């Protein structure tokens, strides 16, 4: 359930000619191990780079497993005295909700397995069934607790959090909240392919339009679909770019880890895209649907009408097929 920063990157498409009435302000750069682009429409030139940098800095200090002094790294190393901030608490609560909704397939205590499979900051291991079973002792959302004093209790100090499957989406939501607080009513925030759209692209006079990459094009990029978004977030996930090859056996290990079995998931689901009200929720479910069988994902979607999804998969004959919820299909641009 680890998601890389470049899974199913979304290409932002801007249509139409500039209007003198509205100004397109844009900040872009690198953060959270990936790239970002933030576009916000106003009637005068604006530059919120300093505030944007601050959001990324606070996010990193709270939840980056690649920064040894971050709160999550200290907690992972067994420090039970760390008082987490409000952002960590929100991500913890979102994780609890998605964990329940997915019957446990979303589980950010996957950290020990992510490291062992070579997809985290920790030491990679040579794994067999016995080692995987031993590591599963340190996986389970029921083994961690957020206390009333904002500290974290783990049943075993070796349990390691990994919020990579939700933190990027949450960062996008925080950037959206920043723009909301500034009175910006029309914007598009993109970080590593995940997006949050509010209002419309007033410069072009049209809705924000984004593209979804074809997961079966391994070199370069080719769009599979183009969709319109307004006051919604979309996140995508896939195994086609985030994997490693064992140098001795040549075996391919994909980044999605099944928290129930402890093994990387190389199943029939090739890619997922989820539209939700917040990018954190879209991010978490896009990753979750990679770990679940299609039939299980459909059940989750039936019970959560606020979610829309697009899933690319292989059928029993190895042929590529597509599943859309009706709401997602309505967003597709012809």
Write out the two tokens for 78.
Answer: 């067994």
Q: Phi, psi at residue 332, to the nearest 5°?
A: -70, 130
Burial of 55-73, coded b for 16+ CB within 10 Å and e otherwise, reads: bbeebbbbbbbeeeebbbb
C-alpha atoms less than 13 angstroms from C-alpha of 326 in its C-beta half-sphere = 2
Q: Give the separation between CA 286 and CA 310, rounded to whole angstroms.
A: 9
**pLDDT at 113 (0 to 100):** 87
Domains of the chain in sequence order: 10-329 (3.10.520.10)
Q: Give the separation between CA 290 and CA 186, rounded to whole angstroms.
A: 31
Please check the confidence at residue 10 and state whether its pLDDT lies above 70.
no
| pLDDT one-digit tens code per residue, 259-281 | 888 887 666 788 999 999 999 99
Report pTM: 0.87
Instruction: Look at residues 93, 140, 125, 107 and name the one whose alpha carbon lies nearest to residue 280.
Output: 93
Mean pLDDT within 239-248: 57
Confidence of residue 8 (pLDDT cuts 50, 70, 90): very low
Confidence of residue 117 (pLDDT cuts 50, 70, 90): confident
| Higher per-residue pLDDT: 19 or 260 | 260
| pLDDT one-digit tens code per residue, 62-95 | 999 999 999 999 999 999 999 999 999 999 999 9
Q: What percent of the chain has pLDDT over 70?
A: 87
| Higher per-residue pLDDT: 122 or 261 | 261
Write out the two tokens for 69.
Answer: 């002094």
Q: Report residue 273 CA to chain centroid gap.
A: 10
Confidence of residue 3 (pLDDT cuts 50, 70, 90): very low
């Amino acid at each position: 359930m680890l998601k890389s920063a470049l899974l199913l990157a979304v290409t932002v498409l801007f249509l139409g000619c500039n209007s003198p009435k509205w100004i397109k302000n844009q900040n872009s750069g690198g953060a959270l191990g990936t790239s970002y682009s933030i576009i916000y429409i106003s009637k005068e030139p604006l530059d919120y780079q300093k505030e944007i940098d601050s959001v990324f800095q606070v996010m990193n200090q709270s939840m980056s497993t690649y920064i040894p002094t971050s709160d999550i790294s200290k907690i992972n190393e067994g420090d039970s005295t760390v008082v987490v901030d409000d952002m960590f608490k929100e991500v913890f609560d979102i994780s609890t909700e998605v964990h329940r909704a997915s019957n446990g397939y979303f589980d950010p205590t996957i950290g020990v397995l992510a490291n062992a499979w070579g997809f985290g900051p920790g030491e990679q291991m040579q794994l067999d069934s016995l080692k995987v079973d031993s590591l599963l002792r340190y996986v389970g959302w029921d083994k961690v607790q957020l206390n009333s004093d904002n500290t974290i209790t783990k049943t075993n100090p070796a349990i390691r959090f990994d919020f990579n499957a939700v933190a990027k989406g949450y960062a996008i939501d925080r950037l959206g909240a920043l723009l909301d607080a500034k009175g910006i009513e029309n914007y598009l925030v993109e970080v590593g392919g995940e997006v949050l759209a509010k209002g419309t692209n007033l410069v072009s006079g049209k809705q924000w339009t984004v593209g979804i990459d074809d997961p079966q094009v391994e070199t370069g990029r080719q769009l599979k679909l183009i969709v319109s978004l307004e006051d919604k977030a979309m996140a995508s996930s896939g195994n086609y770019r985030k994997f490693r090859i064992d140098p001795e056996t040549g075996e391919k290990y994909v980044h999605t880890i099944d928290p129930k079995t402890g093994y990387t998931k190389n199943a029939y689901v090739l890619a997922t895209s989820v539209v939700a009200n917040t990018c954190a929720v879209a991010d978490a479910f896009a990753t979750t649907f990679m770990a679940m069988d299609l039939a299980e994902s459909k059940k989750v979607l039936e019970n959560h009408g606020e979610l829309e999804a697009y899933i690319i998969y292989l059928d029993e004959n190895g042929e590529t097929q597509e599943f859309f919820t009706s709401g997602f299909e309505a967003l597709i641009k012809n």
